[in-house]
Amino acid sequence: MSAPDSFATRLAVLQTRLAAACLRAGRDPAEVALLPVSKTFGADRIREAAALGLRRFGESKMQEVRDKAAVLADCPVEWVVIGHLQTNKAKDAARLASEVQSLDRLDLAQALDRRLQQEGRTLDVLVQVKTSDEPGKYGLDPAALPAFVRTVARDYPSLRVRGLMTLAVNSDDTEAVRACFRALRGMRDRLRDEAIEGVDMRRLSMGMSGDFELAIQEGSTEVRIGSALFGARDYGAPDG
Ligand SMILES: *Cc1c(COP(=O)(O)O)cnc(C)c1O
């Protein structure tokens, strides 16, 4: 048996909650992927998670990806970038990331595309959209989204647009949170109807530890879960 506070237990509890949220929303749990967010947690914790079958891990900072990728070179893990990506980190992302969910501007698209061509590979990307007025949140302005997606599809062929990502407003007001998710889904549906060549506008990365049940109700295809899985984060002193 696993200890009550072990990673295996937390994963099992989370999977039960995910399945229950899907059932309540009338959705098939197979439609909603779990992206474990391992930022600030050390390589040992990722190794433990990988041993339980998790493969993709969400990280916010390229420097952390570099450090962890070096230590975990023997471990079958993939790195998903979910945090603000500086243009001067495009080279690392093109080399190390299996996917970037925080594409939010054309200069980044251009830098990634150039580095990907050098690496001879393509990269799945989600476009991060700002769905609340909360200051300090990154993401593309919704009004700019359709033209942005068309431009990326046309000019940056190494990037394969697969959907949208957002962070909802951080609020106790359930309806305000829901409105963010609903807005993103509406944008995804409209873009999907446009059927832009080279774009598979299917995925909706939305929902975190505190709001994933709502996100699933609103059509999320992927929830990004950190603290509910790995425990509370300590930004001051990342554990080994
Ligand atoms: C940290 C982070 C998460 C996970 O947050 P939790 O509340 O710990 O689940 C999800 N998405 C993004 C973009 C993050 O930076």
For 6-20, the pLDDT digits (tens) are 899 999 999 999 999
Report the topology of domain 7-230.
TIM Barrel (3.20.20)
Model pLDDT, residue 2? 65
Is 210's C-beta closer than 6 angstroms to any atom of ligand 1?
yes
190 touches 144 (CB < 8 A): no
Give the tens place of pLDDT for each residue, 65-94: 999 999 999 999 999 999 999 999 999 999
Q: How confident is the model at residue 237, as a pLDDT?
A: 54
C-beta of 60 in contact with ligand 1 (< 6 A): yes
Report the nearest-CA residue for atom 5 of ligand 1.
226
Residue 239 reports pLDDT greater than 70: no
Model confidence over 116-128: pLDDT tens digits? 999 999 999 999 9
Tokens 């970038």 — which residue? 81
Q: Dihedrals φ, ψ of 46, to 5°?
A: -70, -40
Sequence-distant (≥ 6) Cβ neighbours of residue 200 within 8 angstroms: 160, 161, 162, 163
Q: How high is the pLDDT of residue 43? A: 97
Q: Which residue's alpha carbon is at the smallest distance from atom 12 of ligand 1?
A: 82
| Dihedral over alpha carbons 71, 67, 159, 167 (to 10 degrees) | 110
> Which residue is closest in CA terms to ligand 1's atom 11?
224
pLDDT digits over 45-54, tens only? 999 999 999 9
Would you tell me how many other CB atoms lie within 10 Å of the CB of residue 40? 21
pLDDT of residue 77: 98
* Residue 83 to residue 98: CA distance in whole angstroms: 14
Q: Kindly report the protein residue whose alpha carbon is nearest to atom 4 of ligand 1.
A: 226
Q: Would you say residue 56 has pLDDT above 70?
A: yes
Question: Length of the chain in residues, anyone?
Answer: 240
Question: Ligand 1 atom 13: the closest Cα is on which residue?
Answer: 82
CA of 55 to the centre of ligand 1 (A): 17
What are the two backbone dihedrals, phi and then psi, of residue 220, each rounded to the nearest 5 degrees? -55, 140
> Using 50, 70 and 90 to split pLDDT, how confident is the model at 136?
confident
Per-residue pLDDT, averaged over 163-178, amounts to 97
Q: Residue 101 pLDDT more than 50?
A: yes
Residue 240, pLDDT score: 40
Is 179 strand, coil or helix?
helix
CB atoms under 10 Å from CB of 183, counted, come to 18
225 lines ligand 1 (CB under 6 A): yes
pTM above 0.75, yes or no: yes
Under DSSP, is residue 126 helix (H, G, I), strand (E, B) or coil?
A: strand
Q: Is 39 in the pocket of ligand 1 (CB under 6 A)?
A: yes
